[in-house]
Amino acid sequence: MKFTKMHGTGNDYVYVDLWTESVQDAVSAAIEVSHRHFGIGADGLILVAKPEQPGFAGRMIMYNADGSRGKMCGNGLRCVAKFLFDRNRTPGTEFDLETDAGPRHAVVFPGPDGRAERVRLSMGAPILAPAEIPCGFPGERAVDIPLEVDGKVWRGTAVGMGNPHFVIFVDDVDSFPVEAVGKRIETHPLFPERVNVEFVQVVGKDHLRQRTWERGSGETWACGTGASAVSVAAQLTGRAGSSVEIDLLGGRLSLSWDGAEGLVFMTGDAVEVFSGSWPVAAK
């Protein structure tokens, strides 16, 4: 099985081109190739497939490192856009992509070599109704709401961006015990499909710092849907304006949301690291 390793802001995945390759067992393949010591090393596996509908350039099918299926990944989708653009499979620098969370529009910004360097994505409109995220909080929105975990109460905001997110603002994101707290919130009974947890420090009205605990993958260097959720939560709680720069472990993302029912837009890098062949996952 031929593959390409790519990352968006350090959120790395193994990409397989279904135009030319086949994967018999994607769940096992995702687990094998993602392992940091015995595999290629990644936050998961992304299959770049032909579109199912006319008018789209391609389709993203993603799996987390534990083999679970994910509906959407902003950093991963930027790399899918680059993958297709660099291989001359798009109609130009603007095109639509299929995801399990719905259609997404991409705008590619090529570098000096003509290959995609940065990508702007429409991340869709945020889902704020708890039942649709899904989560078990009461009311029409779960904004700055308390959540009890192991006898301690954390206040957070629930936002759906194709994936469920719970955003918690903290004083110092560097010293925060992301793994210990994130792991417990991920599997909290109020989140029937588990949840991604963002821990966020406010630097200024247009500047945030973020660490993410992703369901099925643990702490990752970046999370595009998470950054989108953070931009929404920060605005809903009065901590940020309509446009923010978010620093993650793997770099910076630019986010904007008009604060109504509109779309969230995200801009960031897309990097191809190397290509190779993986024998085990091809069984």
Active centre residues (catalytic): 73, 223
- Contact call for residues 198 and 230 (beta carbons, < 8 A): yes
- Contact call for residues 262 and 125 (beta carbons, < 8 A): yes
First to last CA, the chain: 9
Examine residue 134 and say whether the peptide bond preceding it is cis (omega within 30 degrees of 0): yes
Residue with tokens 């994505």: 121
Looking at residue 110, the DSSP 8-state letter turns out to be: E
- Contact call for residues 264 and 125 (beta carbons, < 8 A): yes
Nearest 5°: phi and psi at 196? -85, 140
Mapped onto helix, strand or coil, the DSSP state of residue 1 is: coil
Gap between the Cα atoms of 239 and 231, Å rounded = 9
Which residues are paired to 202 by β-bridges? 208
